[in-house]
Structures are given as structure tokens and as C-alpha cells.
Structure 1
């Protein structure tokens, strides 16, 4: 037996392992290694969780809403019923007041006095015929008052009765000729009134008779009564009779007819001691309300008729009756469950349709992407001649077409664009570097030639100490020129220019005046060597008039935002508009070098653009007979910054 149990246990374990293995195999085959299946599974889980959360939120909201709605409608109906019954009691008190205020059939007699005379003398047979006529007139007047004045005021009154204390005389009037007659239930009313006389008739404003059954044209209906004691005028603590009003319980239903279809549960109107005046369910008539203790105050945990219920209670402070609304949670949840089932059904259908559409669209999309994947593998294998994908115009088709176009042009692009672009960039960088050094070296021979020519002319014209001074300055300039460092500070460039102008000042024997106006703040920024020399030489060559003594060359330097602006101006002959336009046009193409005589400004302009970019350069302003001003614009950079800037081959 033990062997059999062990064998059975091993068999179950083996089956469980096989099931687990099969599940893992299916998962790896259809989920783990399938991107779109994983995507579909993830989206399905997200959709299901989202819909589940939404359903929970909706159901919870609906539950709360229906609960609040049921309680709200119940409270509104309670208020309507309470107001309705309050008005009936209030009207009874009004008619009681009229007894003592309104006149009877003679002006010297009130209604009360007429009733009192009838109730005490109306049955006396020894009265004279005149007295009998008065009694009949009194009775007729009281009947007319009840029929024409009391009943029309409240259309729900079925019958109005005025009876003496001994119940041997009564006046009654009914709304319908074939309606309920007092004789059908008067014995029951008489018994109730006799047995329920309070010790103090003034302890309550009105008094109630709980609902009772009465016949009406071979049918049974539920009635209730409101009554009060007709007190003696001279002693309100004692009474002479009763005023009694009967109503059909349907009058309550008519009071809340508008809200009837929204009402859940049972509506009750109870006397102060638990008698049932009205019961919307018809269950608790003809006996005191059995759950009187549970309806003393509002509660959402009361147990009525073995059902957990919400109880709303409204007490009338004037007349003491209680209006109760009982909402069984079972009935409330029945509506909630019905709506919940509808929501779940609709959500399930939408969920299934959504997942089904997702599966179909994902499969279709997956097939198309598999085709793209196959084409990529063909490209990897070297097959670049792939036919274009047709039949669709969406993103996948666009990817496929672009893939085909890319594969078709890939070889051509690599040879014609990629390799050539690398070579061009390398060549351009080398060319800029070589050109920069070539331009830098072009200055020195030109400068040396002009300087030596100046010394030669001075030596021929005069042999004095000035020649030695000029040679000394020249040596200083030469030493500055042969330094290896191409980038210098503006301070060093200005010192060089001062030495250069000092040399020219000696040459022209004081007929050349030099003005330097350079901000201290710009002196530590970097420029390339001899940036101003060609400009100054050009100003001396074309702006200096040896026939006058007022030749002035002004050098100014300022910082403007991220740029440095240096101007060299003279008061020489200037240029006409045609010449100025030609020079300006040449400056726009600074790399197009001409003869040696055109190196000057074009050289400087070319170097500026090579080093600082196309937004920097030279600008010339000139007027014939007034002078010329050359403006140099460069970037405000230190030596380290300008070296990094020169190495950036991607700048414009």
C-alpha cells in the first residue's frame, strides 16, 4: 500500500513538472522571443488593469451616488409628507379657532355657542317650536360652515365630525355623497376617544387616531383621523365635545407622487406613542409599530424586519408626530448590483473587442516588420539591390522605402561623400594653416623693403645722428618681427606701431603727428602680429601730404560687446567714390591676391577672416579731400581662447 502511495505521488510530481515545462516552452516560443507578442501581452495587462481600476472607480462612484441619491430623495419625501401632515394638523387648529371667533346664524352668537346650544339642548323634546326652529337653523348653519368653508380648504378631508362629549349628538359632513359614512366605523372611533382621554387635554395641540380599515362601496380603504377637544370657552381645561377629521391614507401618497418612482424602501408616519398613521408598504397597519425603539433617531446601521437598513427620522416639534424613512440595504444594493452588472458587461465587451483588434493589428504589423527585417538581413549579406515595398503609405512603408533607397545609394555615398568629405576637411585645415603662415611671412619682406628704403633716402639727404636713431628703431622692429610667436597681445602690437610711427616721425621731420587713444581694458586681448602695420603704412603712403605740416594719424581702440574695434584714420587726400567702391569690393574677396602692391589691406583682411571668422574683417570709409578711416573688427579673445578658436574647423 505504501509503495502504491509513493508511486502515485511520483506520478503527480512528474505531471506537475511536465505541465511547468510545457508552460515554459510555450512562453519562450510565443512570448519571450516574440517582441510583438510581449508588447501585446503588456498592453493587454495594462488595458485589463486600467479597465479594472476604472470599473472599480465607476462602481464605487455609482454606489456612493445611488446611496446619496436614495437618502436625498428619502429626505425630500419625508419633508413633503411631514409638511403635508403638519398642514392638516394646522388646519384643524384653525377651524378650532374659528369656532370661538366666527359668528353663528345670529351675530350675537359664535359657532362654539351654537354648537354648545345644540349639544346640550338639541335633543330636548319639551322645547318650544320656536326653540326647535332655532336649533334646526343652528344645525343647518354649522353644516353649511363645514361643507362650504371647512371642506373646500383641504381637498383631502373625507369627513368632518363635531360631536358632544357624551357622543349622543354629532354633526358630520362628507365630501362625497356615496363616500365613507361615519356609521361604519364610529363605534371604533368612540371607543378610542373614550379610552384615550389624557389627564390634561392641553398637553398636545392635536391628537391622532392611527390608521384603521373602513368599507367603501364593497372595497376596503385605510383611513386615519386628526381630532381635538372642543374646550369650554370659560374653562379651557374642560371640554364639551370633539372636532374630528378623517383622511384617506392615499393623501400621503399623492403628496410625494413626483418622487414616488425614485423612492426606495418604506415611508411611515407615526404617532408620538408608535401608532401607525401611514405606511407606504401597507405592512404595519392595525398595530403599534414593532420597531419603535429603532426609529427614535436617524441611523445607517438599524436592523428593521431582520434587514440592515438606513433610517431617516423627522420629528415635528409642533404636533409631535414622527415621519420615518426606512431604506433596506438589500433594496439599495439591488439597484447598484444591476448597474454594476451592466457596467461589467459593457466593459467586458469593450475589453474583448479592444484585445481582439489589438491582436489582429499587431499580427498584421508584425508581418510587415518581418518583411523589413528580412530585407535588412539581405543588406547585411551584401545584397543592396532590393525592390521597393509597395501597397502602403504609412510609417512602416516609409521605413522600408527609405531602407531600399539607403541600400541603393550606400556604396555611392561612402565613396563620394564620406571619404571625400574627410579628405576635404583635412585638406582645408592644412590649407588654412599653411595660408596663415604664408600670409604672416609675406609681411616681413615687404616691411623690410620699405624700411630700408626710408633709411637709404635719409642717409642720402643728411648725415647726422637721426640716421643712427632710425637704425636703432629699425633694429628694434626687426627683432620684434623675427620672433616665432604669431599671436601677441594688443599691448605688444601697439608698442610695435608706436616704434614704427616714431621711425616715420623722424623721417618726416615733425610734419607727421600721431595720436593713440586705446582703452586699457583691451590691451591684454590677442591679435596676430603686424595686424595694424599695413594699415598704418597705407595711411602714410596715401594720406600724408609733405607740403603741409598738419598730417595726423589717429589710432583708437574700443571694446564693443564681444568684439574689439580698432580704427586708423588720417586727414589726407582721401578717395573718390569710384576708388572706394573698388577697394571695398576687393575686401569682400580677400583670398584673391593680386600683385605685391595689393598685399597690404587684403592681407590683413584675409588673416582676420581666417582667424576670427566671416563676421570680422576690415571696413573703409573715405571722402576726397577729408581723409580715410580704416576699421578693424576682431573677436575679444585671449591667446589661449584664440588658439582653441583657430583649431575649430566647423566655425563659419
Structure 2
């Protein structure tokens, strides 16, 4: 038994540990998946925010340019005038207004670079002259070159290059709103790399509408293949990754996380889960082994005691270890059994003699009910022969009532029960002549309904004991049968002394709870208990107060088809 239990418990422990391992592994996997998806969302939001910030900076610089008349006029002359004429304009302005500090496009560019470190290049393109001037961080360092390439890129809308992205702002003359040139604000793309370093697994791709790749964290990213996909669902299926995509003006920002890596658990965590599982298994196995050894030792002591008792030694006693479990109960009962068995063996001879004497006494005092029934029949016939028909009727009614309790089956028809009830009432008519009347009303179609016998006589007897008014001559009791849905009711109503409402409520409570109080009449309670036992707790006996005085007893039952096979055919 020890080996069997150890094997069963070990198998259970293995299953539990494996289930826990799977649960924690799956829980950890889901946790890493949720965390990496959150990282993907954060990284994407930061990348989009950076592009939005750069766009806002370019818009702000464009607005600030229009707010400064000196810088705006300087830029307009720079874009439209020849170099010599532009320098002449600057000298005339300086001398005319006697300015200590002249602010031109060089000062504007230097201020922009100081305010925004993410700014890589600020370029101005002249549409009339076709040249390009680029500022790279200092007002004294700029480059003036041919602007044909820039103009072509402006027309195509492809201002971005690898590692940088730009925003185009048109320059219009405030007086006539004519386009004189454009300002190209270029930003570093290295910030995307700084964002990506905070998140290990997600990848980031940024390109423009022309297909120029601005930034890619993966070396094998191909913009052409990404552009061929239609929608995020197809791209997610193609990359086998979780995708987040945002289109901002003509820039596409795509962040993705490979599904194979999204829920990947670090090797150290897997080793830790396995180590904890092994530790739990070893501890559980040790505790189970210790417990089974103790239980096995106690069982062996009980088996040894039983073996000694089988050998005839009834002085064996087992030690109850006060654990309060079933084995202690078995040990206590075993000790008690040995004591009683020893006492029984010692007294067996005297007990056998007492038993035989008791059986002899019972045989001598036994009354044969059939002999009593036959004797009543003989007395009735003698009374009829002597011309005393009234005594004969009384004896007949008594014999029928007595016979119903001896010969009939437990289940009889309603007609039989009512017939015995009439005979029982006839006995009381002889006993109380001209003091009460009785009636029995039952539709013919209900006569063959099966019912347990001896349910009406105790209720009628209860009326004659407690309800009848002996000084009056107008006593009556009526019995009628009614049907309600699938149930039947036998109603016994009288005009006797009745009961108070308080007593009726208390009696109905006892009948509903199936309570039988000691030292009190048990006629109705006995009938109620038998009806509930046969037909169920929803049926039984209940009492009601009659408006004109008296008591109404309602016996509710539901006949079963199987009971019809047991009913008697004697009516």
C-alpha cells in the first residue's frame, strides 16, 4: 500500500509541478509579450513625436522669419538681387538707419541653430536666380552653390536623404505675395537611433513618399517591398511581426516587433523556473514520503492488532495518537469492539437463554388477528340469527374496518378508502345516535385513483375526540374529493369546536416541517408524515378555519401510475 500511494502521490506531484511550470512559463511569456508590445508602442510614439516636433520647429522658424522685418527684407533681397546689389542694399540700410547691429539671414540661421540642436542644415533657394545657400550652424560658415539639383528635388517632393529629413517652407514677398524662393529646414535622423537604444527588440523604418530611406534599424530592410504591401495587415503578415504605422505629411514611420522575439523568454528566466519546479518537486516528495511512512506505520499496527484478535487474543488494545483523523477513530472503535466482543462472549450463554425465554413468551402472548376477525364474523351471524340486526350491522362495520387494516395492500383505490371511511362513520352513528350527520362526495371518475390506505380514519377519529359538540344535535362532518391541476385534495370539513388561529398556524408549521410532538395526539401528524413520505414534501395535510365555525382539513396528494399496479381490486 505504501508503494502504491507513493507512486500515486508522486504522479500527482509531477502533474501539478508540470502544470505550474506551464502556467508560470505561459504567464511569463505573456508578460514579456505585453511589455515588448508596450515598448513598441512607446518607441513608435517617441519617433512620431520627434518628427512632429521637427515639423513644428520648421513652422515656427518660418513664422519668426516673417515677424522680423529686417531679416525678412534681407532674405528677399538676398534671393532676388545680384550679389553686388545685395551688398549695396545692406550698406545703404546700415548707413540710412545708423544701425549698430544689422540682422540678416546669417544671424537668423545662427539663432536657429543655437535654439534647436536637432537642426542639421538651413537652406534657402532662389527661384529667380536658381542658386542655393546652406547654413550649417554658424553665421560665418555657409555655402552658396548651384540650386538646380535642389529645385528638381523640390519639384519631385523628395527632400530627404539617408540620415536626414527636411521640411519645405515657401518664401513669399509680403507686398505682392509672389513666390521668390523656399526655405528648406533639415534635421538629423540620428535621434531615431537614440530612441531605439532604449528599446532592445523593436525595429524602426522611416522613409518618404518617393521611397528614400531616411532611417532603418535593420540592415535588410527594403523600402520597395514595404511599399508593395497594401495595408498594415498584409505588412504584418509579410514581416511576421506586430506593426505600428503612422503617415506624417510625406513621411512614413513604421515600427515593428518580430513575433518570434516578442514573447521570447530569457534563458536565465527559464533556468530559474525549472530550478523552482525541481525544488518544489523535491520538497513535496520529501513531505509526502514522510507522511506516508507515518500513515503506513499506523496502518501496520492496526493490521497486527486485527491479526492477534483473529488468533483469539481479545486483550489487544491499539494506541490512539490523538491526531483526530480516521485512523484514530478506527483505533478507538477497534478497542471498543474488542471490549464489547469480550463481554459478549462472556455473557453469550446467559444471553442465549434469555433470548429463548423471550421467544417463548412472545409465542405464548401472540394474538392471531385472523382468529379475531373470524370470531367477530361468528358473533355477527349469531346476532342476525337471534334477530338483532342492529348489533349485526355494528359488528359488520367493525369487521370491515378491522379487515381493511389486515388484508388490503398498502395502495388501494379511493373508492375502497371512502368505503372503509363510511363503515367507520357508521360505528359512530351507533355510538352517538341522532347527534351528527355525515356525507361523502366523490365524482365517479375519481373512484379508481390509487391512494395509500388508512389516511381518512385518523382524521375522522380526531374529530370525534376533539371536535364534536356532545351537547348539540346539529353536528355534521362532510368529506369531498376535488382535483386541482395534476393534484387531488380530500377535504374533511366539520362544524365542531374548531381551533384558534394561533393554534392553526402553529399546527400548520409543524405539519409543513413534518414535526411530531411527543405526548400529544399523533393522528393527523402520522397521516401527514406518511403522505409526505410517499408523495413528496410538497404534499401532505393542512388545516383551515371554517367561516361558520369548525375546522377544515385538506389532504393533498398526487397519485402515481406505478401505484395502480399495487391497488386491490376489492371494493
TM-score normalised per structure 1: 0.52
Cα distance, 1:73–1:154 mapped onto 2, change above 3 Å? same
Task: Indicate the larger mover: 81-90 or 294-303.
Answer: 294-303
Partner Cα distance (2:90, 2:428) in 1: 160
The answer as to whether partners of 1:473 and 1:499 remain within 8 angstroms in 2 is no
Cα distance, 1:529–1:137 mapped onto 2, change above 3 Å? closer
Cα distance, 1:296–1:95 mapped onto 2, change above 3 Å? farther
The structure having more radius of gyration, on CA atoms, is 1
Cα distance, 1:137–1:269 mapped onto 2, change above 3 Å? farther
Query: 1:351, CA displacement in angstroms?
Result: 1.3
The answer as to whether partners of 1:159 and 1:172 remain within 8 angstroms in 2 is yes
Match of 1:198 in 2: 151
Match of 1:296 among 223, 227, 232: 227
Which SS does the other structure have where 1:196 is aligned? helix
**What is the 5 A alignment of 1:476-495?**
476-479=393-396, 481=398, 485-487=403-405, 489=416, 491-493=418-420
Query: 1:80, CA displacement in angstroms?
Result: 1.8
Query: 1:231, CA displacement in angstroms?
Result: 6.6
Match of 2:328 in 1: 401
Match of 1:516 in 2: 438
Which SS does the other structure have where 1:388 is aligned? coil
Cα distance, 1:402–1:74 mapped onto 2, change above 3 Å? same
Partner Cα distance (2:211, 2:459) in 1: 117
Match of 2:108 in 1: 146
- 1:262 aligned onto 2:179: no
- 1:76 aligned onto 2:29: no
TM-score normalised per structure 2: 0.58
The answer as to whether partners of 2:109 and 2:139 remain within 8 angstroms in 1 is no
**What is the 5 A alignment of 1:400-439?**
400-413=327-340
> Over residues 34-79 of structure 1, what are the superposed CA-to-partner deviations in whole Å (9 max), with x where a residue is unaligned?
2123213322441354145325533653564355335423432331
Gaps of at least 5 residues in structure 1 are 1-31, 212-222, 456-466, 545-549, 572-587, 591-604, 616-628, 646-652
**What is the 5 A alignment of 1:2-41?**
34-41=3-10
Match of 1:43 in 2: 12
> Over residues 164-210 of structure 1, what are the superposed CA-to-partner deviations in whole Å (9 max), with x where a residue is unaligned?
689999999887xxx69625xx3xx73xx5451435x8636794566
Cα distance, 1:329–1:536 mapped onto 2, change above 3 Å? closer
Query: 1:133, CA displacement in angstroms?
Result: 2.5
The answer as to whether partners of 1:310 and 1:327 remain within 8 angstroms in 2 is yes
Cα distance, 1:309–1:138 mapped onto 2, change above 3 Å? farther
**What is the 5 A alignment of 1:443-458?**
none
- 1:380 aligned onto 2:317: no
Structure with bigger RCO (C-alpha 8 Å, 6+ apart): 2
**What is the 5 A alignment of 1:93-242?**
93-94=62-63, 98=66, 103-104=69-70, 112=76, 116=80, 119=83, 121-123=85-87, 133-134=95-96, 140-142=102-104, 146=108, 156-157=118-119, 182=141, 186=143, 190=145, 193-198=146-151, 203=155, 207-208=159-160, 239=180
Query: 1:356, CA displacement in angstroms?
Result: 0.7
Match of 1:342 among 248, 259, 268: 268
Query: 1:473, CA displacement in angstroms?
Result: 2.8
Partner Cα distance (2:366, 2:556) in 1: 20
Query: 1:121, CA displacement in angstroms?
Result: 0.9
Match of 1:597 in 2: none
**What is the 5 A alignment of 1:512-591?**
512=434, 514-520=436-442, 526-527=453-454, 554-557=476-479
Match of 2:290 among 364, 372, 382: 364
Cα distance, 1:471–1:517 mapped onto 2, change above 3 Å? same
